[in-house]
Chain A
Amino acid sequence: MYIAAIIALLVGALMILVRAILGPSAYDRILAMNAMGTKTVVLVALFGFASGRPEFLDLAIIYALVSFITTVAILKYIEKGRLD
């Protein structure tokens, strides 16, 4: 059950990756990366349940926070050209 869900999510991740490679604008790529971040959180949580180690959820929480901050930081860099 978990494995099937993980495989289906990976197929979705592949589609997102194609969009990130195709672009065409930087914003399309960031949007794809952001969607990928949400997917990764779900994947990590599912993987934890599939392997019977729910401690993976801690990693998922950290990843959710980091991916949000990454998106905002990259956007700020594109908009202002610096991060301070």
Chain B
Amino acid sequence: MEWNEILTAIFLALGVLISLTGSLGLLRMPDFYTRLHTAGKSDSLAQTFILGGLIFVTDNWQVAVRLLMIILLLFFTAPTATHAITKAARLDGLEPWRRG
């Protein structure tokens, strides 16, 4: 493997690990608000790592620009979507879960 492929592999592994954490959290957490924590946070970092890692293996500048564009797009839309969901749930009167 070339050095850039190794770098990409590391980034992909990190991103996939974070992504799996988010999915598992979504499954395990007790209520909607706690699920927000795992889903909203892991998504933005996981996609940055995976798509950012892919930049190292491409030699085409158009592909690199597109990858950067997707990263920025998701970086701005993901938290906005998460917040929109939260606000809708809050207005609907969904109560947070408490331990005990």
Complex contact A27–B74 (CB within 8 A): no
A15 CA / B39 CA spacing, docked (Å)? 12
The 7 sampled A-B contact pairs (Cβ below 8 Å) are A32-B39, A38-B78, A42-B46, A46-B54, A60-B66, A72-B84, A75-B84
**Known contacts A1-B8, A9-B19, A16-B26, A30 near B54 by CB under 8 Å:** no
Q: Is the interface of B mostly helix, strand, loop or mixed?
A: helix
Q: Among the listed B12, B57, B82, which residue makes an inter-chain contact with A34, where contact means beta carbons less than 8 Å apart?
A: B82
**Known contacts A57-B70, A64-B77, A71 near B84 by CB under 8 Å:** yes
Q: Among the listed B5, B8, B9, B16, which residue makes an inter-chain contact with A9, where contact means beta carbons less than 8 Å apart?
A: B16
Complex contact B54–A49 (CB within 8 A): yes
Task: Please classify how large the interface on chain B is, using the bins under 10, 10 to 19, 20 to 34, 35 or more.
Answer: 35 or more
Residues of A within 8 Å of B, CB-based: how many? 40
Residues of B bordering A, CB below 8 Å: 5, 8-9, 12-13, 15-16, 19-20, 22-24, 26-27, 32, 35-36, 39, 43, 46-47, 50-51, 54, 57-58, 60, 63, 66-67, 69-70, 73-74, 77-78, 80-82, 84-85, 88-89, 91-92, 94
Complex contact B89–A61 (CB within 8 A): no
Q: Collect the chain B residues with CB atoms within 8 Å of residue A28's CB.
A: 32, 35
Complex contact B85–A75 (CB within 8 A): yes
Query: Of all chain B residues, which has the CB nearest A16?
Result: B23
Query: Of all chain B residues, which has the CB nearest A68?
Result: B77
Q: Among the listed A9, A16, A46, A64, which residue makes an inter-chain contact with B74, where contact means beta carbons less than 8 Å apart?
A: A64
Q: A8-B16, A54-B60, A68-B77 are in contact. List 10 more A-B contacts (CB 8 A).
A: A15-B27, A27-B85, A32-B26, A34-B82, A35-B23, A38-B43, A54-B63, A61-B73, A71-B81, A72-B81
